[in-house]
Amino acid sequence: MDLIKALKQELIGEAETTRKFLKLIPEDKYDWAPHEKSMKMQHLAVHIAELPSWIALAVDTDELDFAVSGYSPKSCANNEELLSMFEASLQQGNEALNKVRLEDLEKRWVLRQAENILWDGTKYGMIRLAFSQTSHHRAQLGVYLRLLNIPIPGSYGPSADEAKF
């Protein structure tokens, strides 16, 4: 099995599903959240749009230290900008997979806040985490859309809103 080829194929498949969800976000609900502990819809959508670039982060670096680099969420004025942000992030992830060597995937990668280790694994593990985060947060977005009575697209098969069973 060609692991890097499999990761590239997964990235393409996840991107197709993610695009379907991002296109459905009502721009007039960017500041909406279903609960006080939930992210605002725009923040969640931007995070989802940025996740493919985590592949490049995993390939090109050995760690991310929030105490050094910090994180400032981007914003967008509309869905066109959001989708453009997603496509740029997707390109970064794809380019990283085009250049990574199989042996590089075994190297250590750490996510930290100064001395506090938040995640410690391999570059491959961080790439997998980016995919997992995409699925996780896209599912959250699906709940947001459901609560706004917006039909949900299928992810890994048809949804209850699609008459394709």
Percent of the chain with pLDDT over 70: 99
Q: Quick check: 19 pLDDT over 60?
A: yes
Q: Quick check: 147 pLDDT over 80?
A: yes
Q: Where are the alpha helices (DSSP H) in 51-152?
A: 53-60, 66-69, 79-99, 123-147
Q: Are strands 63-65 and 108-113 parallel, antiparallel or unpaired?
A: parallel
Q: Return the DSSP state at 35.
A: S
Q: Return the DSSP state at 27.
A: G
Half-sphere exposure in the Cβ direction for 48 (13 Å, CA): 30
Rounded to an integer, the average pLDDT of 91-108 is 98
Looking at residue 129, its pLDDT comes to 97
Four-CA torsion 145, 148, 149, 155, nearest 10 degrees = 0
Q: Quick check: 165 pLDDT over 70?
A: no
> What's the whole-model pTM score?
0.94
**What is the amino acid identity at position 158?**
P
Q: Quick check: 91 pLDDT over 60?
A: yes
Q: How far apart are CA 142 and CA 100, in angstroms?
A: 32
What does the mean pLDDT of the chain come to?
A: 96
